[in-house]
């Protein structure tokens, strides 16, 4: 197996009702546009990961609708919870999408839950960090991709940095012990970030709905188009990645919105 192609989509914020709008955006429509673009642009996709904030209204219907759309891709997909999500509903609607460890080729994907029921910021409890270490110890010869919703880093955007992963130091301390960890991916920030923590690639994806303006002190929307990230995992532990945005996107966002 030469490579494993992972497509990351994030922060879909779909509604249970088709008339639902997020700051003027039909989030169902933009998600459908993203999935169609993936069909047209890419081939040989092995896995789709959805890195949180699947639903905007916490409705069972929103998760059922999203499952129906992802099922049409005929590609294995896995989703994890963001701060807007209800894990119990996600589990009941599609248990197979809630797998926490996925082996594919000589790579292991570890999908963690950083969401808190009553807060916006993220936190990885000891149970999640212990599970992470157990899996890394269990498969030392597999390269590892770790995914969770909240960024374990700052992005020079104070309002978002206040609601990132609040125990990021504990996370990085744990993973620094394992050279097989190659990449960490997240959602939550509705913008593209790419950097390295030591030898570990750290990546975020744009939202499939609305985008946040980088390096903004307070809540601020951006007029960038929705998009997704492609990650090609190589057998030697390296990776290639790119972000693809919709080139023909006709929806208008309400840039005057002050929050959601």
| pLDDT tens for each residue of 47-91 | 999 999 999 999 999 999 999 999 999 999 999 999 999 999 999
Report whether pLDDT(1) > 70.
no
DSSP 19: T
For residue 128, being part of any structural domain is answered with yes
Domain residues for the domain of 150 are: 3-245
Report whether pLDDT(181) > 90.
yes
Q: Order of strands across the sheet with 101-104?
A: 101-104, 107-111, 143-147, 181-186, 200-204, 194-197
The enclosing H or E element of 195 equals strand 194-197
- Strand extents, DSSP E, 29-162: 47-51, 77-80, 101-104, 107-111, 143-147
Number of domains present in the structure of the chain: 1
The pLDDT tens digits for 118-156 are 899 999 999 999 999 999 999 999 999 999 999 999 999
For residue 259, being part of any structural domain is answered with no
For residue 141, being part of any structural domain is answered with yes
Q: Distance between CA 178 and CA 171 in Å, rounded? A: 12
Report whether pLDDT(200) > 70.
yes
For residue 251, being part of any structural domain is answered with no
For residue 254, being part of any structural domain is answered with no
Q: What is the mean pLDDT of the chain?
A: 96
Q: Return the pLDDT at 260.
A: 73
Say whether pTM exceeds 0.95. Answer: yes
4, two tokens: 């494993």
CATH number at residue 56: 3.60.21.10
For residue 255, being part of any structural domain is answered with no
Q: Distance between CA 12 and CA 31 in Å, rounded? A: 7
- By the 8 A CB rule, do 73 and 49 touch? no
Short-list 75, 74, 84, CA closest to 20 = 84
């Amino acid at each position: 197996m030469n490579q494993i192609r992972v497509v990351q989509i994030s922060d879909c914020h779909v509604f249970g009702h088709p008339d639902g709008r997020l700051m003027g955006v039909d989030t169902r429509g933009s998600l459908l546009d993203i999935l169609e673009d993936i069909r047209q642009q890419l081939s040989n996709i092995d896995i789709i990961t959805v890195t949180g904030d699947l639903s905007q209204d916490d409705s069972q219907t929103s998760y059922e609708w999203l499952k129906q759309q992802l099922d049409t891709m005929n590609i294995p997909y896995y989703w994890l919870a963001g701060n807007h999500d209800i894990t119990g509903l996600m589990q009941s609607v599609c248990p197979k999408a809630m797998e926490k460890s996925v082996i594919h080729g000589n790579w292991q994907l570890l999908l963690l839950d950083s969401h808190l029921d009553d807060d916006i910021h993220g936190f990885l409890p000891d149970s999640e960090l212990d599970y992470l270490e157990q899996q890394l110890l269990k498969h030392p010869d597999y390269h590892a991709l770790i995914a969770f919703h909240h960024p374990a880093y700052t992005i020079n955007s104070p309002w978002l940095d206040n609601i990132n992963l609040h125990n990021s130091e504990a996370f990085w301390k744990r993973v620094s012990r394992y050279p097989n960890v190659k990449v960490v991916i997240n959602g939550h920030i509705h913008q593209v970030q790419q950097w390295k923590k030591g030898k570990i690639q750290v990546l975020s994806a744009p939202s499939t709905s609305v985008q946040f303006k980088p390096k903004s002190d307070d809540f601020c929307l951006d007029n960038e188009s929705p998009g997704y990230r492609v990650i090609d995992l190589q057998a030697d532990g390296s990776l290639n990645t790119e972000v693809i945005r919709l080139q023909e996107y006709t929806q208008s966002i309400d840039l005057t919105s002050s929050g959601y």
